[in-house]
Structure 1
Amino acid sequence: MEFDTEWDLSDIEIQASSADARTEPQNSYSTPVEICASDLKNDIDIQGIDWSQMSVTREEYRRKRTRDYRGNYTNLTPHPHKEIRQTCAAVIPGSIYYAFRYAKVPRRIPIVHFQLRNLLWAANKNEIYYAGDSSVLSWSPIAKRSSTTLDLRLNRLQDVRISTMCAKLGILMLGGFNGEYVLQRPSDGIVSPTKDKQRSASSSTSPSASSRYGRATRSGFVTTSYNGITNHIDIAEARQGTINAIISSNDEFVRIMNLDELKITCSFKFPWAVNCSTLSPDKRMLCVVGDDRETLIADAQSGEILSTLRGHADYSFACAWSPCGRIVATGNQGEALDPTDKTSRLYDVRNMSRPFCLLRRKLSAIRSIRFSDDGKFMAMAEAADFVHVLEMARLHEILEQGDHLVPPSYTPPEIPQYAHSYAQPMDVDEEEQDEIEESSGGDSAANPSSSQPRIGGHDLPCQIIDFFGEISGISFTPGDGEQLYIGNAHESYGCILEYERTRPSIGNLDSMLV
């Protein structure tokens, strides 16, 4: 991005408002500044930017950034259809499900691939893993400091460029640009306590890593294809009780790896590069998205295609299942071609022929989607600046209304089959200038007289977290989902944003009981 000097965030001083050491203006990685909830007063925001020192207001800068943002990429030729876009659910911003708690600014959080944004994971309440330069670091919200969990250089893996990562069920696993994987059990240092002798020949152990961090590190290749970048990794327990990794690769394969034996137990070939695949809670189905408009639901055992979800305008990079298994969500990078473009599309597994809710973005493509383990919230991260949080109770209300189960009275125009092209940056089109004029936070309320129904309703409450910077990943804490962490990769104001779930006050509880 290019801005005039007076608009450039790199020239803004980081400023905390408290009367301690945090009040000192900083603009250097060597002396981080802490921002707490109590600092959010006057004109200081969650990144410590003091807007009173700027020649423009935050709202003015937001409008300019929205207009000039150059991070919107498409792989298929765009074609705007404002009429169709207006069928997306109209959200009502302003809900506060998670409140800002803490950030230490600035922090270097690199993003190696502009479309892959799964580089931050909350392993538990006090270990938030995030990718660094040839390493994985762990942020401690209690100690408020980072430490190195995995240094690839000490494991003779310095050539591995981290494209994606996952931390679940006590396992940390990385994927690389050349089909590599690196695996570690940070909790106990043992990859397989009972089957160590059955390791595949492609895996290796680094004594230096074990001696340095007390943890065994395994590495190998899931593919040696020239186009074998690892796009996504999901770790889940299989129906047989084994812990498996579901690995999505650019060579058009989804591979299932038994993490006890480090062996590929099955491989499923698809007609396009696979960008993300996730296992349903009942362990029976895979949701698969990639370099195509279609989303596929496949049998997790055989790879047989069970259902094809159509309607997207471009490639998808995110998908997720709700913990109850009734909802599957996808995220697309398209450009104003149909209502799914740069949005999340939510399906009811009882009828996946069309979505029951369409959720729009504010600025850029939806790159990652997460559900809290307790099933109460869903979060969608755009490529930059915005994270959307929705309450699942409201989505279940829409689900139970069953409007999506009735044949639609309005049929959107058929999407033209445009030719493929290389990924290209897209400007905000003229039809989206109305969004730029909206206040920061979300879509304006829908016009009830609109000729097309809003898929998801006219009054969907939503919290929209607003900041500046590319997003490396988002993660709820496992189990209770009490905390939400956001990786912000801004060059000057990057940080891990910590949010904590809000609770009704006593007054609110009284009103709820009336």
Structure 2
Amino acid sequence: MDYFHSDHLEYLGDDYYDFVDFEDNPFLEPEPHRVADLDSVDSDIEDDFESSKSNTDTSAVEARNGKDIQGIPWERLNFTRDKYREARLKQYKNYENLSRSREGLDKECLQVEKGKTFYDFQFNTRLVKSTIVHFQLRNLIWATSKHDVYLMQNYSVMHWSSLLRRGKEVLNVATPIVPTMKRPGLLSQSLSRVQISTMAVKENLLVAGGFQGELICRYLNQPGVAFCTKVTTDENAITNAVNIYHNHNGSLRIMTANNDAAVRVYDAESFACVNCFSFDWSVNNTSVSPDGKLFAVLGDSTECLIIDASSGKITGNLKGHLDYSFASVWHPDGRILATGNQDTTCRLWDIRNLSKSLAMLKGNMGAIRALRFTSDGRFLAMAEPADFVHVFDAESGYVKCQEIDIFGEIAGISFSPDAEALFVGVADRTYGSLLEFNRTHYNCYLDSVF
């Protein structure tokens, strides 16, 4: 992936994409409250959580009564939402590493029926604001229940409770981090001012990767950070992705994917490195099959690899994408793998026949930066770098789709483990927020009556 360093952890999207330049930009309200210089800030959170800002939040009732779900005051602007969307679609530039012909790509993609509603808008809060540090890395939102979600906000990992409508800082990486676990031979070290590039939360474990190859592990039910280190001394060593998973024996493992072309596996109890696999290109993303026996490796290559988790042997080579890949996810049944690419497509692969992709899905504007399946396998969520999240119905063969249309860079997406909630993080200077959607349940009895 492209190496980009920023001394400021503020929203970076404007540096890479040409946005619509209206005279009255809806994203530039008068004197917005935001942190301009993070070098003088250790924490983004005040004790009272700036409760006066709650009037900027949007509820489902307010949205049904006509309020914009992000709180953008279109009625005060010189153009409509539709006009802004039209101009943005025309002027948005997708980032490409490889300038290859995209001719014919649209024809290969599935013809999708849009306009479905699988998840209803529930709430949008600006009390917590998603942020990103690298424009290609967007796995910065993780839900552990339909009421609990974790997100990156500058130098803080925040926990948001949708029940209490309150946020809480659970990890501050601006100040020195001293690991609490002490064991002979454990290669841990203190860290400070980490720019978190990726994260995962599962099994009561929070794992974060940093811009300088850092790895931070904290058990949420224990004080302090259990383990932290730099996994590599390579100069270009961004930790691009982290995974928390069970291997084929049921042991909890942590996997890191780095720009030094290596994938490392750690035991989640001892934090010892139990495996290291090397590749020919920077690894941008990995995902592990539900049975823990295989993992997908994606990176600075048009090809994606299927790897035996025990031996590191390549068992499959997926060919078809036109650019570099940054997202992947396995269907819960373990037979389908989805991969997201900067060629603006998501390819679906049948693990039993990898000679050609099973189907191809396409976004509206840009690269596919994040992918998530629901735990029941019914829906696949696909996020572009900005503005659009697509939710596909797997039971329909992915031809029925809900399109979530918003404005701003997307920091990440996450379904709750019970598939009842979908969270979307928006990174924007003014309208940075966390959006919550709840699964739509139709009353079959009432449907039959009417």
When the two structures are superposed, what TM-score results if normalisation uses the length of structure 1?
0.75
SS in 2 for 1:92: coil
Could you say which residue in structure 2 is the equivalent of 1:48? Answer: 71
1:171 and 2:171 are equivalent in the alignment: no
Could you say which residue in structure 2 is the equivalent of 1:394? Answer: 396
Could you say which residue in structure 2 is the equivalent of 1:463? Answer: 402
Could you say which residue in structure 1 is the equivalent of 2:284? Answer: 275
Pick from 491, 494, 512 the counterpart of residue 429 of structure 2.
491
- How many aligned positions are there? 401
Retained in 2: the 8 A contact 1:107–1:493? Answer: no
Q: State the distance in 2 between where 1:250 and 1:216 align.
A: 24
Could you say which residue in structure 1 is the equivalent of 2:100? Answer: 78
Alignment of 1:238-387 (within 5 A): 238-334=247-343, 342-387=344-389
Q: State the distance in 2 between where 1:473 and 1:29 align.
A: 25
Per the TM alignment, residue 153 of structure 1 is displaced from its structure 2 partner at its CA by 3.4
SS in 2 for 1:6: coil
Per the TM alignment, residue 84 of structure 1 is displaced from its structure 2 partner at its CA by 3.7
* Unpaired segments ≥5 residues, structure 2: 1-18, 33-49, 178-190
What are the Cα deviations for residues 350-384 of structure 1, in whole angstroms up to 9, with x where unaligned? Answer: 21111121100011110010011122211011111
Q: State the distance in 2 between where 1:2 and 1:510 align.
A: 47
Superposition CA RMSD, Å:
2.1
Per the TM alignment, residue 31 of structure 1 is displaced from its structure 2 partner at its CA by 2.2
Q: State the distance in 1 between where 2:136 and 2:197 align.
A: 10
What are the Cα deviations for residues 1-46 of structure 1, in whole angstroms up to 9, with x where unaligned? Answer: 35122344324999xxxxxxxxxxxxx9972412011112465221
Alignment of 1:27-176 (within 5 A): 31-32=53-54, 33-41=56-64, 43-70=66-93, 72-81=94-103, 83-105=104-126, 107-156=128-177, 157-176=191-210
Q: State the distance in 2 between where 1:60 and 1:508 align.
A: 39
Retained in 1: the 8 A contact 2:277–2:312? Answer: yes
Retained in 1: the 8 A contact 2:327–2:339? Answer: yes
* Unpaired segments ≥5 residues, structure 1: 15-27, 190-213, 335-341, 396-455
What are the Cα deviations for residues 452-496 of structure 1, in whole angstroms up to 9, with x where unaligned? Answer: xxxx7xxx1100101000000000111x11000000012111110
User: Based on CA coordinates, which of the two structures has the bigger radius of gyration?
Assistant: 1
Alignment of 1:491-510 (within 5 A): 491-506=429-444, 509-510=447-448
Retained in 1: the 8 A contact 2:120–2:439? Answer: yes
- One-letter code of the match for 1:373? S
Counterparts in 2 of 1:106 and 1:49: CA distance versus 1, 3 Å: farther
Q: State the distance in 1 between where 2:127 and 2:364 align.
A: 25
Per the TM alignment, residue 509 of structure 1 is displaced from its structure 2 partner at its CA by 4.1
Retained in 1: the 8 A contact 2:210–2:239? Answer: yes
Retained in 1: the 8 A contact 2:262–2:278? Answer: yes
Could you say which residue in structure 2 is the equivalent of 1:423? Answer: none
Per the TM alignment, residue 106 of structure 1 is displaced from its structure 2 partner at its CA by 6.3
- One-letter code of the match for 2:217? L
What are the Cα deviations for residues 132-151 of structure 1, in whole angstroms up to 9, with x where unaligned? Answer: 22221111101101110011
Per the TM alignment, residue 55 of structure 1 is displaced from its structure 2 partner at its CA by 2.1
Retained in 1: the 8 A contact 2:20–2:88? Answer: no
Instruction: State percent identity of aligned pairs.
Output: 39
Could you say which residue in structure 2 is the equivalent of 1:472? Answer: 411
SS in 1 for 2:395: helix
Q: State the distance in 2 between where 1:30 and 1:45 align.
A: 20
Retained in 1: the 8 A contact 2:247–2:291? Answer: no
What are the Cα deviations for residues 44-68 of structure 1, in whole angstroms up to 9, with x where unaligned? Answer: 2210123222222211110111112
When the two structures are superposed, what TM-score results if normalisation uses the length of structure 2?
0.85
Could you say which residue in structure 2 is the equivalent of 1:404? Answer: none
- One-letter code of the match for 1:304? K
Q: State the distance in 1 between where 2:107 and 2:25 align.
A: 32
- One-letter code of the match for 2:280? P
Q: State the distance in 2 between where 1:113 and 1:30 align.
A: 31
Retained in 2: the 8 A contact 1:101–1:498? Answer: yes
